[in-house]
Structure 1
Amino acid sequence: MARFDLYRVEGWRIPLMVDVQADHLDELSSRIVIPLHRFDGQVSPGITRLKPVLRLPIGDHVLETPDLGSLPRSAIGRPVGNIVEHRDQITAAIDFLFQGF
């Protein structure tokens, strides 16, 4: 498992997840993930730093940073892609969530 890998997790309200956990913590039994949902054309003004729209090959998706959480590795499965090219936006959203800047 690698940081910024994408996973489809069936049975979840928002099944597309991005792994944001540091690679060197791979021995843990869980991974920290952030759900992504398909962009519907609307994001509240002022919230785009927290919930950026990411342009993915499968369409534009909103990073739901406030819904960050942990999933057991056994529930995640195999990656369906990697979005390391959005590293700066994802990291900035996490920093904004925890630090406020």
Structure 2
Amino acid sequence: MSQFDVYINPSKKSREAYPFIIDIQNALISDITTRIVIPLGKFNHFRSEQMDGLTPLIKYEDEQYVLLTPQIASMPSKLLKDPVGSVVSLRDEIIAAIDFAITGI
């Protein structure tokens, strides 16, 4: 598992609104059974929750998604099967959103 890998949301119930999960946990923390993740929400479902700095827009597979930073969570790593992609190129934006959520800066 690599930081900023993208996975298909393992929950069939919520996959329509949240199709993807981003693993944001650093690879140095690999001895625990969970991963820290942030869901990507479809822009048309979460347009009103888009807030500069906190919930940046992420373009993935030619679609717009909202990085739902306030919904940061952990999930069992066994639920995250094969990654379908990576957003490592958006590392700075993702870390800035997490930082904004924690520090307000």
The TM-score normalised by the length of structure 2 is: 0.86
Structure 1: 5+ residue runs without aligned partners? none
In structure 2, the residue matched to 1:19 is 23
SS at the partner of 2:83? Answer: coil
Spell out, residue by residue over 1:4-45, the C-alpha distance to the aligned partner (whole angstroms, 9 max, x if none). Answer: 000112325224100110111122110000000121283457
What are the equivalent positions in structure 2 for 1:19-98 lying under 5 Å apart?
Answer: 19-40=23-44, 42-43=47-48, 47-98=51-102
Root-mean-square deviation (CA, aligned residues, Å) is 1.7
Percent of aligned positions with the same letter in both sequences?
Answer: 35
Cα distance in 1, alignment partners of residues 19 and 30 from structure 2: 22
Cα distance in 1, alignment partners of residues 48 and 56 from structure 2: 8
In structure 1, the residue matched to 2:3 is 3
Spell out, residue by residue over 1:55-101, the C-alpha distance to the aligned partner (whole angstroms, 9 max, x if none). Answer: 11241110000000000011111111000011011000000011111
Structure 2: 5+ residue runs without aligned partners? none
